Amino acid sequence: MSGSLPSPVQQGGAADRVPPGRAALPVAIVGAGPVGAVAALALAARGVEAQLFDARAPAAGKPDRRAIALSWGTRLALDQLGVWTRIGRADPINRVSVSERGAFGSLEFTREDLGTPALGYVVDYGDLTRACAHALEVAAIRTGWHTRVAAIEPGSEVLTLALAPEGEVSSRLEARCVVLADGAEGIDGGPAPERSARAYRQVALVGDVSSERFAPGRAYERFAGSGPLALLPRAGHHACVWVLEPDVAQRLLDAGPEALARALEAAAGPAFGAMRWLTPPTQVPLALRRAGRSPDPRIVPIGNAAQVLHPVAGQGFNLGVRDALGFAAAWPVHGSGRLPEADLLRALAGFARTRRADRVFTVAATDLIARLTAIDNPVAAAFRGLGLSAIDIVPRLRRRALEAMVFGAA
């Protein structure tokens, strides 16, 4: 496939303008992170040529130990695309317990509920990005690292990308369609969709913690006051995402490691015993960000370029992977990207239509949960507990909630 690409970009290089008489690149992907890589790999599996551009350096050799939860559905997709076997370490999630601090009611999902080997896995983000970059190399999908897309210029049949390679002369590239994926926020020129943002007035304290009574394979989501507390299983410890009001988080950080550990114990509940922060927590501001409608249907945002979600329920990356797979599936297998304009627009409209339900539901559900769990009073806690119990005891609700968490709402 690499021999037929219309641009001579190699790993780490820049791009020249498409030579006269050559067909435009079918798909240019801005952002070579995991979601962009999944889109390129899925397109390649359908025989559609794609090329990635990223202003950043390649992921190889860059440690990033942030924990990310992958659903079973995402794991299946990564396996089919040749990524999963390249991930060095993946800790299974066999059981998910959801509870309300100080109130009756809980909800528990297990892998037996779906008959799958696991509900999901926890991996290091850096390990995932390296695995994706390696899979791109093996598939001979060209990636222009250190290459910023400065602008996208619309035309009647093609889009022209203005490329600004680091340390090299700027250049231009024509493409039939442009996907905005990871790292696509820096495009200043052209018809890129506008983005809206609404702050949650919350921050997440993210880090690794140990507990006296650690349960392998078990993930916890606990509604603990001003926001949810998530504890994900790693090898002998938890990856912690604790959502708090900014002033509360700052007071706890100022109080020191011991006070912060005691506060975490109180939020998590007595089942964990003594807890200790293994790494100093990082403070991350939280907001809901969404891309508006693109002024040109041939410019398609996916993943974080389309929506950045609250971390409750850990759905952000998994939704992005479903976006990438849905985009690839919209291209006819025989088309290899050389579609008439009408067919291209029809395919893109089909992508938007088939992804709408999953996107709307997942964004709305995580936003609603984030808002409800931020209400810190006994009445709200009681209602949340009753809601968890209702889902737990009604088989249809329970099954639907679990399928949406693992496979999406489509």
- In the chain, the amino acid numbered 323 is D
Summarised one tens digit per residue, pLDDT across range 161-182 is 999 998 888 899 999 999 999 8
**What was the pLDDT predicted at 20?**
45
| 224/293 Cα distance (integer angstroms) | 36
For 78-144, the three-class secondary structure string (H helix, E strand, C coil) is HHHCCCHHHCCCCEEECEEEEEECCCCCEEEEEHHHHCCCCCEEEEEHHHHHHHHHHHHHHCCCCEE
308-321: per-residue pLDDT in tens?
999 998 999 999 99
Query: Are the beta carbons of 338 and 23 closer than 8 angstroms?
Result: yes
Distance CA 365, CA 360 (A): 8
Do the Cβ atoms of 37 and 317 come closer than 8 Å? no
Q: Quick one: pLDDT band at residue 186, thresholds 50, 70, 90?
A: low
Token pair for 50: 């794609």
State residue 163's pLDDT score: 94
- Domains in the chain (CATH in brackets) are 2-64+128-196+288-366 (3.50.50.60), 67-126+199-287+375-407 (3.30.9.10)
Segment among 232-246, 337-351, 355-369 with least mean pLDDT: 337-351
Tell me the average pLDDT across 334-362.
87
- Per-residue pLDDT of 197-223, as tens digits, reads 899 999 999 999 999 999 999 999 999
d(CA 247, CA 285): 12
Q: Is the pLDDT of residue 14 over 60?
A: no
Q: What are phi and psi of 405, to 5 degrees?
A: -70, -35
What is the average pLDDT value for the chain, to the nearest integer?
A: 88
pLDDT (mean) for 68-79 = 97
pLDDT of residue 332: 79
Other C-beta atoms within 10 Å of 278: how many? 15
Confidence of residue 185 (pLDDT cuts 50, 70, 90): low
Cβ-contact 43, 331 below 8 angstroms = yes
Which two three-digit tokens encode residue 88? 């060095």
What pLDDT is stored for residue 7 in this prediction? 34
- At residue 225, the pLDDT reads 78
Q: What is the pLDDT of residue 105?
A: 83
- Reduced to 3 states, what is the DSSP secondary structure of residue 154? strand
With 60 as the cut, is the pLDDT of residue 16 above it?
no
Instruction: Kindly tell me if the per-residue pLDDT of 18 is higher than 80.
Output: no
Do the beta carbons of residue 288 and residue 309 sit within 8 Å? yes
For 284-327, the DSSP string reads EEEEEEEE---SSTTEEE-GGGTEE--SGGG-HHHHHHHHHHHH
Task: Give yes or no for a contact between 78 and 84, defined as CB atoms under 8 angstroms apart.
Answer: yes
Higher pLDDT, residue 332 or 130: 130
Mean pLDDT of 20-37: 86
Q: With residue 381 as reference, give the H or E element that holds it.
A: helix 378-393
Question: Is the pLDDT reported for residue 334 higher than 80?
Answer: no
Confidence of residue 300 (pLDDT cuts 50, 70, 90): very high
Q: For the chain, percent helix, then strand, then coil, each to nearest 5? A: 35, 30, 35
Q: What pLDDT, on a 0 to 100 scale, did the predictor assign at position 83?
A: 98
pLDDT of residue 294: 85
Query: pTM of the entire structure?
Result: 0.90
Residue from 82, 110, 89 nearest 98 by CA: 110
Query: Tell me: the pLDDT tens digits for 46-55?
Result: 999 999 999 8
Tokens of 157: 């049949």
User: What are the angstrom distances between the C-alpha of 71 and each of 77, 134, 403, 405?
Assistant: 10, 21, 10, 7
Q: With 80 as the cut, is the pLDDT of residue 338 above it?
A: no
User: In b/e form, how buried is each residue of 90-122, taking b as 16+ CB within 10 angstroms?
Assistant: bbbbbbbbbbbbebebebebebebbebebbbbb
Specify whether the CB–CB gap between 302 and 328 falls below 8 A. no
